[in-house]
Structure 1
């Protein structure tokens, strides 16, 4: 009787072979197998025992290679430089975590970290290195920019800690640079009127720009949301705009309409007024290329660029003699209009503007709310008295009731 050897078999022609498995490859996720009819010298197996011995040798060799690889991997983890960590590990992770426009904006800052720490080993960056860098940022940049850079730098090292490239975060106990609350200029309603009068509505470009200013002021859309609007997003009959996309430039004259907004709350429906409806209808009536899938704020089929919007706002603000604002300033102008003129509360403004956190709206515009208007003392008094809920007259519980 032929002795059975694990992993050794014969095919239908009687040829002897071995087949063994080494588990799953961690990098590829595929099963690792080895099958052969020959030994390491290229000779066919004459017996099952020869095949079994060769299989044992192959398995032992594989295990030794894996063990050596694990040692080298551990060594590489300790020797990895900050530059290698950023380029091979952090930036690929970050690129997949954010929108492409966010990555393009941030990568310049990340490159400055690489320039600063370069070939220094990641595990050798200590708290004193971090403190020196923090002070350099404060000295070199504005408070807000220094604070932003420091925050990104800490995120990089925090990711290294989570992946166990470093044992602890070296900058954990250091103070953040103190930023200053930036004030975004905005227009009041009377200032908007002055700006709108500077446009020549018989001119095609001016009509496009007039429409853009009006639409942003009256809806509070983010700049990229407005640039990505197509006509099918607007229900002219029911006076509703569906915000569901943003526009990104590839930098070579082409654009990508991404079916996502900055936050999940950014996907929303905005009700528009009758005058805004007229502005949109008048623009569509003369716009070149105005099918349902055409961009609303486009010129001859090409969507407006952010820089075009900024230059146009500056030019017409100076003509009107009002503060120069940005596209973001138009969004703030709308929110100010909602709060100061229409007296809308923070929940309404937050939902209309597409903000995830209501506290963000409150923190941004708390100075616009009239403290007297939100005190509510008089209203509370009126309600309590109307239901008979009043304070019981004072009695001294330390004295016994006197019986007359």
Structure 2
């Protein structure tokens, strides 16, 4: 039994996609129609297209509404193309910003419409976020071209907003010392906050990596921490381990003795109250980033230092290593970057005096005695002869 081509959209209207053979060039003919109030209306239009000749079909233009295309065609397809967490992270942006075009047909969206939308977004949003949203819109329009719903991608015609290098926010060693000195470890919850902030600052882990760390990932004998997973956290009952961000994210880093002592102390206190494998947990479930973000906000105000994001603790670790003179390659491996360009591109500006330091190190590094006679018996060229002659003349004078 053949599938019914008439589908019901989430907004209650009906739509269909009709496969109508091939045109004279051999190109597959597909037609989309949407926005029908009743299923009967949609079926009548579908039957009308079925009876049309190929040359007549080539003259008809699809007018699929952007809303129907996104909700019924693009999003179901896009969900199969990316990781589930990526889809769920980007879906809110689609639902928030794509409705700007929902009342337009896909084929009617022009560069001027995209430019106006781009300018509207740029008024209150960071350029990096606008670039990401427009990039997703561009993917949707490219897919519409593949499906024959439109012929051009207006987003690519006008281009994306200019990429701006983000400001790297971090705490210096002295600023972090002010923060950590205010956390009262005798209080169980504050002890949890202490170990969480310390763990992030001293390892440079991403929050998803740190939240996923289990006690068995820490070898207290060798001091090695194994990072091989991420934590996807939606709510207190919906969280799971997922693959790391990149292959380079799978890594092992050595913990300093102080951090190992703090972790051992926390493990004893934690395990006496709750049973959990999560290192960064005070109640048996992994911590969520909002908990730590609020803590950072509170203690930054108490300490009188500027507030940073949770990711800023990762930047702080990199900054600390740079201030200690560590090799960028070591920093790259510790942070789990895919290549050294990522490390230098992100933190290169934190080496403001590196050229002067290099110059100081190079000064006097080569020792030699100046030659007192000519050891080269090769033929002399004109410039050598003239130079020697002129030098002798000046000496005689």
Q: CA deviation at 1:333?
A: 0.8
After TM superposition, the score normalised by the length of structure 2 is 0.73
Match of 2:278 among 295, 300, 303: 295
Match of 1:322 among 280, 301, 305: 305
1:92 and 1:345, CA in 2 relative to 1: closer, same or farther beyond 3 A? farther
Match of 2:237 among 254, 274, 278: 254
Where 1:323 maps in the other structure, the secondary structure is coil
User: 2:329 maps to what in 1?
Assistant: 347
Structure 1 residue runs of 5 or longer lacking an equivalent are 1-24, 26-65
User: 1:276 maps to what in 2?
Assistant: 259
Larger-gyration structure (1/2): 1
Q: Is the 8 A contact 1:260 1:267 kept in 2?
A: no
1:104-183 alignment, distance < 5 Å: 104-139=88-123, 141-178=125-162, 180-183=164-167
1:69 and 1:81, CA in 2 relative to 1: closer, same or farther beyond 3 A? farther
Q: Is the 8 A contact 2:232 2:242 kept in 1?
A: no
Q: Deviations over 1:201-224 (max 9, x none)?
A: 211111111111111111000011
Q: Is the 8 A contact 1:230 1:292 kept in 2?
A: no
After superposition, the CA RMSD in angstroms is 3.5
Aligned length: 335
CA distance, structure 1, for counterparts of residue 65 and residue 157 of structure 2: 23
Q: Is the 8 A contact 2:19 2:30 kept in 1?
A: no
User: 1:227 maps to what in 2?
Assistant: 211
User: 2:32 maps to what in 1?
Assistant: 76
1:383 and 1:126, CA in 2 relative to 1: closer, same or farther beyond 3 A? same
CA distance, structure 2, for counterparts of residue 352 and residue 246 of structure 1: 16
Q: Segments of 4+ in structure 1 off by > 6 A?
A: 69-72, 289-293
CA distance, structure 1, for counterparts of residue 221 and residue 203 of structure 2: 17
Q: Does 1:209 align with 2:193?
A: yes
Match of 2:70 among 70, 86, 92: 86
CA distance, structure 2, for counterparts of residue 164 and residue 204 of structure 1: 61
CA distance, structure 2, for counterparts of residue 374 and residue 245 of structure 1: 40
Q: Is the 8 A contact 1:289 1:301 kept in 2?
A: no
Q: CA deviation at 1:67?
A: 7.6
Match of 1:286 among 243, 255, 269: 269
1:131 and 1:326, CA in 2 relative to 1: closer, same or farther beyond 3 A? closer
Q: CA deviation at 1:234?
A: 0.9
1:291 and 1:387, CA in 2 relative to 1: closer, same or farther beyond 3 A? farther
Deviates more, 1:67-76 or 1:203-212: 67-76
Q: Is the 8 A contact 2:19 2:29 kept in 1?
A: no
CA distance, structure 2, for counterparts of residue 382 and residue 280 of structure 1: 46
CA distance, structure 2, for counterparts of residue 384 and residue 92 of structure 1: 66
Q: Deviations over 1:72-125 (max 9, x none)?
A: 961228343322322233222332333433323321221244411114222222
After TM superposition, the score normalised by the length of structure 1 is 0.72
1:226 and 1:305, CA in 2 relative to 1: closer, same or farther beyond 3 A? same
Q: CA deviation at 1:355?
A: 1.6
1:228 and 1:398, CA in 2 relative to 1: closer, same or farther beyond 3 A? same
1:397 and 1:88, CA in 2 relative to 1: closer, same or farther beyond 3 A? farther
Q: Does 1:312 align with 2:268?
A: no
Q: Is the 8 A contact 1:247 1:258 kept in 2?
A: yes
CA distance, structure 2, for counterparts of residue 304 and residue 99 of structure 1: 22
Q: Does 1:102 align with 2:58?
A: no
Q: Is the 8 A contact 1:218 1:276 kept in 2?
A: yes
Q: Is the 8 A contact 2:19 2:31 kept in 1?
A: no
User: 2:392 maps to what in 1?
Assistant: none
Deviates more, 1:83-92 or 1:66-75: 66-75
1:347 and 1:68, CA in 2 relative to 1: closer, same or farther beyond 3 A? same
Where 1:278 maps in the other structure, the secondary structure is helix
Q: CA deviation at 1:264?
A: 1.8
Q: Deviations over 1:341-397 (max 9, x none)?
A: x21122221211112232222122112114445774565676666799xxx99x994
Q: CA deviation at 1:329?
A: 1.2
Q: Is the 8 A contact 2:202 2:317 kept in 1?
A: yes
CA distance, structure 2, for counterparts of residue 314 and residue 243 of structure 1: 27
